[in-house]
Amino acid sequence: MLPDRGSLGAVIVAERNVADRDFSTATAFDLAALSDEQLAELDPLAINLVVARGLPALSDLDIRPYQQIVDDWTSDFVQRCLPHWEVVFRQTPHEWKNDIRYFRLGMVSQYIELELGIRYKPEQRDVQAILYTDPADLFLNGLIDSREGTCANLAALQLAVGWRLGWPVSLACVNSHFMLRFDDGNAVYNIEATQSGYGGFKSDPDSYLVGERGLPTIALECGSDLRALRPREVLGSFVGLRARHLRDLGQHRGNEAEILESEADWLLARILYPASRFLYKGQMVVSTLRGGALFDPNEAGHPNTYAGCLREVRQLRSRLSDSGSDTSQSIEPRKHSVDELFSILGAAQ
């Protein structure tokens, strides 16, 4: 049974939250220049909307009104609701793992659904694939305006509320799915943000999510999935949402040039969150499309020549092994996969 992976490091909680920073001219590149510690001080909602404002359709987005809305929601939760609701915990602590932290996480989830009326978009609940042509489905302005959202902006709202409360919460990924993750170095809880219609609260252990979502071991070992993201990785995830919107919009319109415009965001997202398997796949697809536009079909660099690139990778790894470098952790676990892919591509040439 896989234990919860809290040993990977507790969430960075800033000593102080910088609530009055002016984001009116900030860009994702400005934020990317900051450290984890500096980003931890900044409102995740503002970070989310700074990234969103980089889209042409949202270039005039005013961030401060949205911050005020969530400020007011958080104050209402703390002052009006939580003191009354905590009576329930004191009466039945065993129903809440005997942990006030777990109870409070549940109450935030229920507040968002039952008090604010925010829910998962019903028309998207059972779809197997979707093109996110509307950025409102991915960023917090859309969720706050419509009271309907997806895992991307629902989890981001929980994060924004948790930041205001000073809680050790961050985002976590399970494949392309986002959830909230609490990790204070002692307790670890995964909070599913899309549980509208079910009381708003669902928390599954890592072991369940690995089986339910079909996560391979390497997704955990490489640091991609099921751990609390560092602040720069959270920023990278938001930039990845922007990349996905741009790619999906180009795909919907059948416009290759528009799809290629998303490459810059995929690359920036990967710089910020290099361990992400989802971002890697998104960037590689678009960059491969770019390669087809930069090189002749038989020229090195064209996707048709990728088998040769894999041969170079094998030769590099062989030289590293001969030099006595320790490749047991970084190379050997992946060698068989590279060999298989090389064989498949080589046979297809």
The answer to whether residue 58 sits within a structural domain is yes
39, 166: one domain: yes
Beta bridge partners of 302: 300
Give the relative orientation of helices 151-165 and 44-52 as an angle to the nearest 10 degrees: 140
Specify whether the CB–CB gap between 278 and 271 falls below 8 A: no
321, 216: one domain: no
Task: Say which amino acid occupies 25.
Answer: T
Q: Which domain holds residue 54?
A: 6-231
Give the chain's end-to-end CA distance (angstroms, integer): 43
Look at residue 61 in the predicted model and tell me its pLDDT: 97
How many structural domains compose the chain? 2
Look at residue 74 in the predicted model and tell me its pLDDT: 98
**CA–CA gap between residue 70 and residue 159 (Å, rounded):** 11
Q: What is the CA radius of gyration of the chain?
A: 22
How remote is the C-alpha of 110 from its chain's centroid?
A: 22
302, 221: one domain: no
Domain end residue (candidates: 231, 256, 285)? 231
The answer to whether residue 207 sits within a structural domain is yes
226, 314: one domain: no
306, 174: one domain: no
> How confident is the model over 167-215, as pLDDT tens digits?
999 999 999 999 999 999 999 999 999 886 666 689 999 999 999 999 9
Residue with tokens 């993750």: 181
Look at residue 344 in the predicted model and tell me its pLDDT: 43
Look at residue 345 in the predicted model and tell me its pLDDT: 38
The answer to whether residue 262 sits within a structural domain is no
Look at residue 300 in the predicted model and tell me its pLDDT: 84
205, 303: one domain: no
**CA–CA gap between residue 337 and residue 323 (Å, rounded):** 22
The encoded tokens of residue 284 equal 């590689």
The answer to whether residue 113 sits within a structural domain is yes
227, 321: one domain: no
Look at residue 268 in the predicted model and tell me its pLDDT: 98
- Residues of the chain where predicted confidence (pLDDT) is lower than 70: 1-9, 196-200, 324-349
The encoded tokens of residue 233 equal 């990785």
330: enclosing H helix or E strand = none
**CA–CA gap between residue 293 and residue 328 (Å, rounded):** 37
**CA–CA gap between residue 297 and residue 291 (Å, rounded):** 10
CA-to-CA separations, 194 to 51, 72, 201, 219, 314, in angstroms, rounded: 22, 22, 9, 22, 43
Specify whether the CB–CB gap between 68 and 164 falls below 8 A: no
The answer to whether residue 249 sits within a structural domain is no
347, 207: one domain: no
Nearest to 274, CA basis, from 227, 236, 317: 236
Look at residue 77 in the predicted model and tell me its pLDDT: 98
**CA–CA gap between residue 245 and residue 121 (Å, rounded):** 17
53, 176: one domain: yes
Burial class from Cβ neighbours inside 10 Å (0-12, 13-18, 19+) for residue 170 reads buried
**CA–CA gap between residue 92 and residue 84 (Å, rounded):** 14
The answer to whether residue 172 sits within a structural domain is yes
The answer to whether residue 263 sits within a structural domain is no
Beta bridge partners of 171: 180
> In a 3-state reduction of DSSP, which class is residue 100?
helix
Look at residue 103 in the predicted model and tell me its pLDDT: 96
